[in-house]
Structures are given as structure tokens and as C-alpha cells.
Amino acid sequence: MVFADLTLLAQTAAKEPSPFAPLAFALGCGILTAILLRRSYRYFGKRTRGGSGPPIASQPRPADAWDGAKRDAAARLGREKVELHELARDLIGQLDSKMILLNELVQQSHQQIERLQTLLDRAERLKR
């Protein structure tokens, strides 16, 4: 009996489509779209609004036209000072290595001078 009622209902539904079926379909699609958009806005909105990342440092607005230029000039001067210090350190290192090499050469020359003097003294003794 229940089966017969279901087949009858299916036959009547197949014969006459309801005038509200397209409206119900459109309403269902609209609700599904709203739910999905709301979820994606919550998920992606946290990233773009800085919810998970570090906050962006706010820069104060310049009081006059030269304020920003002064800050840029100070930063540039600071970078140039750092470059000069690095260059000075490199040059000092090169000078130190050359001084060490020069000291070694001076010691070798002193040893050669002493050797030559001993040879000259020996030659003079043999000459007599």
C-alpha cells in the first residue's frame, strides 16, 4: 500500500512540474553561495587584515617637506658610515699583513748581513 502511494506520487510529480521548483533551486543556490563566501572571507580575511602576520610599522607623516628628506639623508649617511668602517677594516687588515711580511723580510736581510759580515771577517783572517 505504501509502495503504491509512492509510485502514484512519483507519477504525478513527473507529469506536473511545480511552478516553485526553479525558485526553490535558485534560493538554494543563493544560500549555498552565501555560506561559502562567508567562510572564505573569514579564512582569507584574517591573512589580509594582519590577523596572523606581524603588524606593519606605521610611519609618521612628515611635518614639513624637508622632514622626509632629512630622514632619508640620515639613513644614507648611516649606510655610508658603515661602508667606510668596513673599507677601513679591510685596508687595516691588508696593511697589517704587509707589515708582517715586511718585518719577516727585514729579519731575513739582517740574517744575511750577519752572514756576510762573518764571511768577510773569515776572508780577512785567511788573507793574513
Q: 31-64, pLDDT tens digit by residue?
A: 999 999 988 877 776 555 555 556 667 767 766 6
Q: How far lies 96's CA from each of 48, 55, 99, 107, in Å?
A: 54, 47, 5, 17
Going 44 to 45 to 47 to 51, the CA torsion angle's sign is negative
Greater confidence (117 vs 63) lies with 117
C-alpha cell read off for 32 = 549555498
pTM, rounded to two decimals = 0.39
Determine the pLDDT at residue 15: 63
pLDDT digits (tens, 9 = 90+) for 9-35: 566 655 666 777 788 888 998 999 999
